[in-house]
């Protein structure tokens, strides 16, 4: 069974996120908070440089803006490379006949759904992120 990836809980201590980032890095933080459509920037002083965080509940927008992303892996903060997460994006389309899993490889989920709707009844859909094979620095806290 693959580890479950999810947004961080809003109650996650900031120190847990900062422990995974290095000064000078811009790190995306996939977090379950209601904020505007664009990621919320946050700069934290760290010796000798700043740590810049982009907070967002939208993982797709973070994938496009940052190289590293902090998220929850089995409930604990974890850092992963954005390109590795993007490579593991899958669209699950639930139809009356069963579930179709489609890799997103740069394709918008809406395009796949539009194609499927033309000849099948769609019950539901969701984007899933499988655990990337490689994580930067092997960093995880628990």
Question: β-strand 98-103 against 89-95: which pairing, if any?
Answer: antiparallel
Domain count, the chain: 2
Instruction: Tell me: do 46 and 106 sit in the same domain.
Output: no
* pLDDT band for position 113 (cuts 50, 70, 90): confident
Instruction: Tell me: do 33 and 92 sit in the same domain.
Output: no
Distance CA(43)–CA(41), nearest Å, equals: 7
Q: Note the pLDDT tens digit of each residue in 33-42.
A: 886 667 888 8
> How much is the pLDDT for 1?
38
Global pTM value: 0.75
The DSSP letter of residue 41 is E
Residues 6+ apart with CB under 8 A from 98: none
The DSSP letter of residue 89 is E
> How much is the pLDDT for 118?
67
Instruction: Tell me: do 45 and 78 sit in the same domain.
Output: yes
Instruction: Tell me: do 82 and 92 sit in the same domain.
Output: no
- Pick from 86, 105, 121: which residue ends a domain? 86
**Mean pLDDT calculated for residue range 3-8:** 82
Q: For residue 77, is it within any domain?
A: yes
**Mean pLDDT calculated for residue range 31-50:** 81
Per the structure, the complete domain to which residue 107 belongs is given by: 88-134
Where are the extended beta strands (E) located within 57-118?
A: 68-73, 76-81, 89-95, 98-103
Q: For residue 142, is it within any domain?
A: no
């Amino acid at each position: 069974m693959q580890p479950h990836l999810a947004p961080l809980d809003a109650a996650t201590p900031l120190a847990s996120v900062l422990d995974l980032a290095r000064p000078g890095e811009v790190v995306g933080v996939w977090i379950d908070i209601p904020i505007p459509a664009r990621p919320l920037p946050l700069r934290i002083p760290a010796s000798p440089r700043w740590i810049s965080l982009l907070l967002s509940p939208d993982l797709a927008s973070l994938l496009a803006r940052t190289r590293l992303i902090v998220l929850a892996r089995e409930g604990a903060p974890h850092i992963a490379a954005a390109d590795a997460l993007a490579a593991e994006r899958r669209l699950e389309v639930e139809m009356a006949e069963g579930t179709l899993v489609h890799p997103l490889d740069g394709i918008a989920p809406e395009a796949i759904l539009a194609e499927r709707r033309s000849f099948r009844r769609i019950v539901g859909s969701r984007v899933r992120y499988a655990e990337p094979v490689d994580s930067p620095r092997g960093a995880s806290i628990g």
